[in-house]
Structure 1
Amino acid sequence: MCLIVFAWRVHPRYPLVVAANRDEFLVRPAQAAHWWPDRPGLLAGRDLEGGGTWLGLSRGGRFAALTNYRDPSRHKPGAPSRGLLVRDALEAGTDAAATLEDLAARAAPYAPFNLLVGDGDALGVLESITGRVRMLEAGVYGLSNGVLDTPWPKLLAARERLAATLRGGLDENALLALLRDDTPAADEHLPDTGVSPEWERWLSPAFIRAPGYGTRCSTLVRFGRDGQVRLREWSWNERGEAAGEIVHDFRVEPRG
């Protein structure tokens, strides 16, 4: 993912609400979210090049999602796919904090990333650029290609719109609208992440359309206090037009 805004223990009915965009090269093949036949209990999209995923859930109520940390000077040719970390987090048998600490100890071979992991009782983030694991208090947060809550214009706008939507009820159309916002940031507010100013402009909206690169899918996730979980995902073509939509509803299985 390249933009994730989420509310943890804010909504009275839904302890975790997530709105996220996956931005990727258009030629990189992927499957929409589905239950993986070779890894029972894992619901996620699948990167057909690297084998991992960018966001996923488990039948046991785990959640994990990852964003890349944008800094071209830290590129690692031949590094393993960071999407494998999401898969490993979803399949781990430890709580969220222990899972994040374990993955932090194994992060060195990977290019920089941020990894969110939740187990239903706790939610935390690993920022590999600092090596820090942070377990989160109740609140509304945003994560893009910096560390948690780096104040980029698209992150600030999306986080505020998520907070406003939660105050008015959980309107999925409003959440999709914030993910589809393709308004670029003004030049004076562009971050400096080591790419050209032209690319900073292309990457500055929540919804990206750039040469050979763009927002490939948008995902909404909600975990209910009653154990009901919903994942709704839209796929977008190279022009940013709708190319598919799926919905998965399931109930968290009791922990054995």
Structure 2
Amino acid sequence: MCILFIYNGANDIESDFSLILISNRDEFYDRPAQCMAPWSEEPCVYGGRDLEAGCEKGTWLAVSSKYKKIGLLLNLPGVKKENAKSRNSLPEVNTYTNATNEISTWSDTYLGFGNSLPDKPLKKVQNGKNLLKNICTKLNKINTKPELLNELISLLKNQESNLPDPQLEERQPNMYKALSSIFVNIPKARYGTRAHTIVLVTKSGEVDLIELSLKSPINIEKPEWERNEFQFII
């Protein structure tokens, strides 16, 4: 039950960031997967990939340093480096769901998406969006980036239950308590949050791409996290 939050800060004159995206990938611990890395067939694209038989090369999030795209979710406007800070175009946020077979465009400054229709968010998505707003309001300068990253990681690791949530309780009557937190951990099912991804894009086009992922094979008694980081200009 993955979750993703977005701060679309291009119109926020107080912020040095045009975009902040953070996400958790929830998956079975034993499903083989590749950590965030450049793709061999397209080195300008960075993404994590499924390695399970029949699902090879499937991806849960991809970022392109060449085509100004993040997966199929975001399209970033091109940056003219000599005039980057004065451009007026906004990052465009689009979502697609096979439940309605429709593409929607979102203009809100703060967005959250989970395992439900975008216009009917789970309670943990609503609360996580508010947490992101609190973070980005106080830590929106490049010189506070270390503190910003720490706060964003803490948000993604938040294990507080977000209940009651009638929608989640109806859909998952046996597991709704374990699934009600932003960070999911269900040891008996060997299922939970396996990776945190953070994308920071400054108004001058500098990108930080950071992934923290559980090291495979995953030891549920003593889990180890590994960190991969990439920087580039768009």
**TM-score normalised by the chain length of structure 2:** 0.78
The whole-number CA distance in structure 2 between the counterparts of 1:193 and 1:58 is 37
Residue 84 of structure 1 aligns with which residue?
A: none
Contact 2:183 2:192 in 1 (8 A): yes
Q: CA deviation at 1:194?
A: 5.7
Q: CA deviation at 1:174?
A: 0.9
The whole-number CA distance in structure 1 between the counterparts of 2:3 and 2:202 is 22
Contact 2:113 2:121 in 1 (8 A): no
The whole-number CA distance in structure 2 between the counterparts of 1:190 and 1:138 is 25
Answering whether residue 19 of structure 2 is matched by residue 41 of structure 1, we say no
Aligned length: 201
Residue 181 of structure 2 aligns with which residue?
A: 205
The whole-number CA distance in structure 2 between the counterparts of 1:183 and 1:46 is 29
Alignment of 1:207-222 (within 5 A): 207-210=183-186, 211-222=189-200
1:179-221 CA distances to partner (integer Å, 9 max, x unpaired)? 10112233x3252476442211121110111122100001110
Residue 157 of structure 2 aligns with which residue?
A: 180
Residue 100 of structure 1 aligns with which residue?
A: none
Residue 88 of structure 2 aligns with which residue?
A: none
The whole-number CA distance in structure 2 between the counterparts of 1:125 and 1:19 is 16
Q: CA deviation at 1:172?
A: 1.0
Helix, strand or coil for the counterpart of 2:136?
A: helix
The whole-number CA distance in structure 1 between the counterparts of 2:51 and 2:121 is 32
Percent identity, aligned pairs only, is 26
Q: CA deviation at 1:23?
A: 0.3
The whole-number CA distance in structure 2 between the counterparts of 1:178 and 1:150 is 21
Residue 55 of structure 1 aligns with which residue?
A: 61
Q: CA RMSD in A?
A: 2.0
Q: CA deviation at 1:238?
A: 5.0
The whole-number CA distance in structure 2 between the counterparts of 1:20 and 1:125 is 15
Where structure 2 has 5 or more consecutive residues not aligned to the other structure, the ranges are 78-90, 141-147
The whole-number CA distance in structure 2 between the counterparts of 1:21 and 1:42 is 19
The whole-number CA distance in structure 1 between the counterparts of 2:59 and 2:24 is 13
Answering whether residue 123 of structure 2 is matched by residue 117 of structure 1, we say no
The whole-number CA distance in structure 1 between the counterparts of 2:24 and 2:34 is 15
Answering whether residue 205 of structure 2 is matched by residue 227 of structure 1, we say yes
Where structure 1 has 5 or more consecutive residues not aligned to the other structure, the ranges are 65-88, 90-115
Contact 1:143 1:150 in 2 (8 A): no
